[in-house]
Structure formats: structure tokens, C-alpha cells
Amino acid sequence: MKIAFMYSGYIRNLKEFADQHKEIIDDLNADVFGSFWSSTDSEEEHDNIEYFRKKFDPVAIEVDDIESLKESVCFDDVKGDIKLDISSFREDWVSRFANFTSFFMWYKVWRVNALRCEYKEKYDIVVRIRTDLDFKRGFNPEKNDFINIPSGFVFINPDIFGPHDILAYGKPSLMNYYCSLFQSIHHYIKTNEFVLQPENLLRVHLSQKDFVVRMWEDEIGIGLNRGSNVDTGFNYFLHGTTSWKRPAK
């Protein structure tokens, strides 16, 4: 079984988790791809492109400058289309919405998948992953016909919520759609389906297709160099699989 691990975004927590990830990758004999920003929000000396290359020997890797991307798109025009009352949100969430972080995250998810597609290798399983994940129970992706996401939802309020966006895997055709979210952002804004929160956006995107999203019970930590940790051991839909259907017209 051929597996691709696709890392994207900021490089974080390699000192803590690189050995763990490398063991998983080696056990699965997986190929590694990376699409990162040239800058980082980490102060750790290991959190850089050179250390990532040395540790994981990626098949392909690319680096972009986030400030150049900001200058190359019309954020003022895009933001003008957003009709959202954020008065009831926590201050830290308002800051995230204002900075349009979802755009940059999903851009990198899209780019690393494109990089994987350029390689022309036939993979059975494609994994969207981050460098700062702590796999407390290991990680053993299984071949199936679902988009597989760790159990649990992130709730901002009853109307703004979605599945965890930290990790997903599935066969290439399904992951191509998962990773294409970036290309639909402006459409979701125009149709009033978009809220500036990445998990909610993922829920909206997945609801556009008639396929099954499987949530497996797990416990995955996130180390953001700020002492935070997310436990995804809670399965919102209990056990088994769940699916989102397109809304009725």
C-alpha cells in the first residue's frame, strides 16, 4: 500500500514531534511532501526548512513568502463581501477572523496537494497533516472509501462549528476535493455560506458532495509553542461513520 504524507503551513514543534512522525512514516514506508511559509511563528531552532529536509527527506518541497501572497490578492475586496456579526465572539477569535488566517491555511493545503499530484505517483492513501501533531495512540491509516477525520467538532457557537481540520486522509480522489477548499472560498463568501473560521468552512465545503466522512475515535495533541493542547478523543456522533448531505434547494 502506497501512502503520501502532505505537510503544509507553518513549521512548528519539530523538536518535540519529529522523531514520532518519522517512526510512523518509516513504518508505513510513506512518501513525504511539504509546502511551507518561509517565515515561522516559532522561536525553536529546529522549526525550519533545513531541519525538516534532514529529518524527513521529502520527495518534493516548496516554500512561499506569506507577505508576498498578501500583496498579490485583493483582500479588501474579499472582506467587503463578508456579512458577519462578530460582536458575540471572543476577542481572540475576532482577531483571527480579521487576519483572514483561513485563507492562508487552506492555500497551503491546496498547494501541497498540487505538489503531490505533480509527482505522478499512484497512492492508495493521501494524508493531510501538520508538523505539530502529537499522536498519543499512534497513527495507522486504513484504506477505505471515506474522508477520514479525527473524532469531534470545534464549536464557536451553535451556527459556527465544524470537524477538526488538523488531519485528514483518504484515497486521492477524495483528498483532491478536500484540499480544493481554497479554490471555493470566494464562492462561499458570495453565497453567504462562509464564516471566517476554518473548521466551519471545512464543514461547508464537505457538505457540497455526497460522500461519507468517517470520524475515528482518537487522541491527538497539538503543540503550538504556546502551551495549548487539543484532545480529539470525544466523538460527537458517537462511533461509526457520518455523512453530510447537500442542503435542499
Q: What is the mean pLDDT of residues 198-214?
A: 86
Q: Which of 20-34, 39-53, 95-109, 161-175 bottoms out in mean pLDDT, i.e. has the lowest?
A: 95-109
Q: Which of 125-129, 141-145, 196-200, 236-240 bottoms out in mean pLDDT, i.e. has the lowest?
A: 236-240
Amino acid at 236: Y
Say yes or no: domain 3-243 is CATH 1.10.3470.
no
Question: What are the extents of the domains in the chain?
Answer: 3-243
Q: What is the mean pLDDT of residues 204-215?
A: 87
Task: Say what the pLDDT of residue 245 is.
Answer: 39
- Indicate the DSSP class of residue 145: S
Better pLDDT: 94 or 14: 14
What is the widest separation between alpha-carbon atoms in the chain? 52
Task: Say what the pLDDT of residue 225 is.
Answer: 45
Task: Give the model confidence (pLDDT) of 213-249 as tens digits.
Answer: 998 888 888 885 443 334 444 333 322 333 443 334 3
Task: Give the model confidence (pLDDT) of 171-181 as tens digits.
Answer: 999 999 999 99
Q: Nearest-CA neighbor of 97 among 197, 174, 188, 167?
A: 197
Q: Where would I find the beta strands (DSSP E) of the chain? A: 3-9, 31-37, 60-64, 125-129, 133-135, 147-150, 153-157, 160-163, 168-170, 212-216, 220-222, 241-243
Q: Nearest-CA neighbor of 7 among 146, 166, 138, 125?
A: 166
Distance from C-alpha of 177 to C-alpha of 211, rounded to nearest angstrom: 11
pTM of the predicted structure, to 2 decimals:
0.84
Better pLDDT: 95 or 226: 95
Say if residue 54's pLDDT is above 80. yes
Q: What is the mean pLDDT of residues 81-103?
A: 58
Q: Nearest-CA neighbor of 94 among 183, 192, 162, 160?
A: 160
Element (H, E) at 30: none
Q: How big is the chain, counted in residues?
A: 249
Task: Say what the pLDDT of residue 221 is.
Answer: 85
Task: Say what the pLDDT of residue 10 is.
Answer: 92
Q: What is the mean pLDDT of residues 1-12?
A: 96
Q: Where would I find the beta strands (DSSP E) of 164-219? A: 168-170, 212-216
Give the pairing of strands 153-157 and 168-170.
unpaired
- Indicate the DSSP class of residue 87: T
Task: Please state, rounded to an integer, the average pLDDT across all residues of the chain.
Answer: 80
| Strands lying side by side in the sheet with 168-170 | 60-64, 31-37, 3-9, 125-129, 168-170, 147-150, 212-216, 241-243
Distance from C-alpha of 115 to C-alpha of 55, rounded to nearest angstrom: 19
* pLDDT classification of 80: cutoffs 50, 70, 90: low
For the chain, percent of residues with pLDDT exceeding 70: 73
Are 185 and 103 in contact, with CB atoms under 8 Å apart?
yes
* pLDDT classification of 77: cutoffs 50, 70, 90: low
C-alpha cell at 62: 516548496
C-alpha cell at 45: 531552532
Task: Say what the pLDDT of residue 197 is.
Answer: 72
